[in-house]
């Protein structure tokens, strides 16, 4: 899949989606300008009508032409507003879909290290709020920024036909008020960004608590978590109040300017009327346009201030989600072609972001079709090793090859499509049993799914569920037991039918009886495949071809399990320890 390049700041990010639909956005722009221009034209038609009615010869007053113009412009204005609303909704809604899909695609392209550093719930919430903020910005641009600007230009033209000095005075007043409010809004950007950041953090922490509600209840921590959340929400509320009151202060400043400027223009026009320099209609249009433009300037300035809040939300999201991927497909990548499934580590070095070195010039080979078990204490590097095979993170030095193909030169999707994984914690979606089993092979037939379920010894319990294979398993499979989830994970691997199989404590959630059943299923699954397995129960690795024992990222033993047991090394020590523990349990 081609890497998505998302802009890092809000303005080019928004422009990207305008470029996706230039004709649609352009038509909205033209229609809204036409509607606002018609509104100014209505005011001018009213002036003509008032002037005609002000005639001394009322019986012969030419009122019908201005009246028809007035009615025509009102009709046109309303038609254009409705058409603009229809076109604008199409543009904004479609862009919201594109934004969420693009952010989702970019988000899922990050390495697993990235997801370990961020709240998953907060990341999803950021995508939703960014789409909403973008819609707010586009709506504000169309209906709160563009109309006042058009009104202002139209008013300047109209007032110039009456008294050019008035148009200059109004222009100066509007620029002064709008500039003052915009400058005021820019200075408040830090407050708006702080509120956006606090809001996202509070949302993420609430989601974190809700997703771990069992732990909260088990440790009687409801009151404690409420207090902790209250502190976070109070910080958000404080930031929200400061952002809100800043906007209210901008409104107060504008209202003062509105009273002063409006009164000045009205007094000026009345004095000119008394001197017979302008008509009654001119007084009407000067007063209506002045207050319309000044109200519009307030809406414009406050819209820009409010938009700063939305830009803060978008910038905050882009800073977190749109950062470059640490694991990328090359510009010219190939598709991984696996015929035998051999795996090689050639002088591989890998360190965590904090600088802790895991592997240093690690080299070994797993032959095609070989079943290899990874053994070692926690922190030895077992889980890191299998994540590197899947290229969930990139190594700093050396090469990892599958069938002599460097995995960093092929697409990540083609690599992972050749690997089936049965992890310790099976991830299930809030979907049906059938969909969860078929997830690794979306085109699998019903018979393939049923066969996989029987092979994983889960067909019987599935058919005993309320709706059988159509039963919804709940969020993360909460409606199933640990052993049932583990069996579905194994069934999913059967369906995927990949040449390389990774088992990460695949029988950890099963009881002894179930484990024996699954062992036979796994033995069938492993036939003809290259297998890499992590297991703390060494008995599950007894029939493997080879065991690699890791300690501090180094291979300290490597060979068939029987040979390692006979050698009396680290593997034999762990084996004997587990065997003695099992004998004691059986005695009890």
Same domain membership, residue 295 and residue 398:
no
Element (H, E) at 308: helix 280-321
The verdict on residue 4 lying in a domain is no
Q: Is the pTM of this model over 0.75?
A: no
CA distances from 41 to 45, 74, 394, 578 (A): 6, 9, 64, 90
The verdict on residue 326 lying in a domain is no
Same domain membership, residue 301 and residue 384:
no
The verdict on residue 447 lying in a domain is yes
Same domain membership, residue 355 and residue 313:
no
Phi, psi of 544 (to 5 degrees): -75, 160
The total number of residues written for the chain in this structure: 588
Same domain membership, residue 38 and residue 72:
yes
Phi, psi of 532 (to 5 degrees): -125, 120
Q: What is the pLDDT along the chain (588 residues), one digit of tens a residue?
A: 445 578 888 889 999 999 999 999 999 999 998 988 888 887 777 777 776 776 655 555 577 787 888 889 889 989 999 999 899 999 999 999 999 999 998 888 887 778 877 767 678 888 888 998 899 899 988 888 888 888 778 777 777 777 777 777 777 777 777 677 667 766 776 777 777 778 877 877 787 777 777 677 776 778 888 888 888 888 888 888 887 787 777 777 777 777 777 777 777 777 777 777 777 777 777 777 777 776 676 677 667 767 877 888 888 888 888 888 888 888 888 898 988 899 999 999 999 877 889 999 999 999 999 999 999 888 888 989 999 999 988 899 999 999 999 999 999 889 999 999 888 788 888 889 999 999 878 888 899 999 888 888 888 888 988 898 898 887 777 788 777 888 888 888 889 888 999 988 776 656 666 666 677 777 778 888 899 998 877 877 888 899 999 999 999 999 999 999 888 888 888 888 877 665 554 454
Element (H, E) at 260: helix 222-274
Task: Write the CATH number for 559.
Answer: 3.40.50.300
The verdict on residue 537 lying in a domain is yes
| CA separation for the pair 242, 250 (Å, rounded) | 13
Same domain membership, residue 278 and residue 361:
no
Same domain membership, residue 348 and residue 469:
yes
> Tokens 């079709």 belong to which residue?
369
Q: How many domains, in total, are found in the chain?
A: 2
Same domain membership, residue 457 and residue 498:
yes
| CA separation for the pair 159, 166 (Å, rounded) | 6
Query: Residue 441 is part of which domain span?
Result: 343-587
Same domain membership, residue 441 and residue 311:
no
Phi, psi of 348 (to 5 degrees): -80, 130
């Amino acid at each position: 899949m081609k890497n998505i390049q998302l802009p890092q700041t809000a303005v080019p990010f928004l422009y990207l989606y305008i470029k996706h639909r230039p004709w649609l956005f352009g038509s909205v722009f033209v229609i809204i300008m036409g509607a606002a221009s018609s509104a100014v034209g209505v005011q001018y038609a009213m002036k003509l009508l008032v002037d005609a009615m002000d005639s001394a010869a009322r019986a012969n007053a030419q009122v019908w032409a201005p009246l028809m113009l007035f009615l025509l412009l009102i009709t046109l204005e309303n038609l254009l507003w409705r058409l603009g609303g229809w076109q604008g909704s199409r543009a904004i809604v479609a862009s919201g879909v594109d934004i969420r899909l693009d952010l989702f695609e970019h988000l899922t392209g990050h390495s697993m290290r990235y997801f370990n550093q961020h709240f998953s719930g907060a990341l999803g919430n950021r995508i939703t709020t960014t789409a909403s903020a973008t819609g707010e910005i586009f709506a504000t641009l169309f209906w709160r920024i563009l109309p006042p600007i058009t009104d202002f230009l139209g008013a300047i033209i109209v007032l110039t036909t009456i008294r050019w000095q008035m148009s200059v005075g109004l222009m100066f007043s509007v620029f002064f008020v709008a500039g003052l409010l915009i400058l005021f809004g820019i200075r408040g950007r830090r407050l708006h960004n702080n509120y956006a950041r606090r809001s996202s953090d509070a949302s993420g922490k609430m989601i974190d608590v809700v997703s771990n509600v069992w732990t909260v209840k088990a440790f009687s921590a409801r009151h404690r978590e409420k207090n902790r959340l209250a502190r976070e929400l109070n910080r958000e509320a404080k930031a929200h109040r400061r952002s809100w009151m800043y906007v209210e202060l901008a409104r107060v400043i504008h209202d003062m300017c509105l009273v002063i400027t409006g009164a000045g223009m009205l007094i000026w026009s009345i004095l000119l009327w008394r001197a017979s320099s302008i008509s009654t209609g001119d007084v009407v249009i000067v007063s209506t346009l002045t207050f319309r433009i000044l109200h519009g300037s307030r809406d414009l300035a406050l819209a820009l201030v409010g938009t700063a809040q939305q830009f803060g939300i978008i910038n905050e999201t882009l800073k977190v989600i749109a950062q470059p991927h640490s694991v990328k497909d090359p510009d010219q990548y190939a598709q991984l072609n696996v015929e035998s499934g051999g795996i090689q580590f050639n002088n591989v070095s890998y360190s965590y972001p904090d600088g802790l070195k895991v592997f240093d010039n690690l080299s070994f080979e797993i032959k095609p079709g070989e079943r290899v078990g990874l053994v070692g204490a926690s922190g030895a590097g077992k889980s890191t090793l299998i994540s590197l095979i899947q290229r969930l993170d990139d190594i700093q030095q050396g090469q990892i090859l599958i069938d002599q193909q460097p995995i960093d030169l092929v697409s990540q999707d083609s690599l992972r499509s050749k690997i089936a994984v049965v992890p310790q914690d099976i991830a299930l979606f809030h979907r049906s049993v059938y969909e969860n089993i078929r997830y690794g092979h979306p085109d699998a037939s019903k018979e393939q799914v049923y066969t996989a379920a029987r092979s994983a010894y889960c067909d019987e319990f599935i058919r005993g569920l309320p709706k059988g294979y159509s039963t919804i398993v709940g969020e993360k499979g909460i409606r199933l037991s640990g052993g049932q989830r583990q069996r579905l994970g194994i069934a999913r691997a059967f369906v995927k039918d990949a040449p390389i199989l990774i088992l990460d404590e695949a029988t950890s959630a099963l009881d002894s009886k179930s484990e024996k059943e699954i062992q036979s299923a796994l033995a069938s699954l492993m036939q003809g495949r290259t297998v890499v397995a992590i297991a703390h129960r060494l008995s599950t690795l007894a029939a493997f071809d080879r065991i690699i024992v890791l300690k501090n990222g180094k291979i300290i033993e490597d060979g068939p399990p029987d040979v390692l047991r006979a050698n009396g090394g680290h593997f034999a020590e762990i084996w004997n320890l587990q065997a003695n523990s099992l004998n004691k349990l059986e005695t009890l």
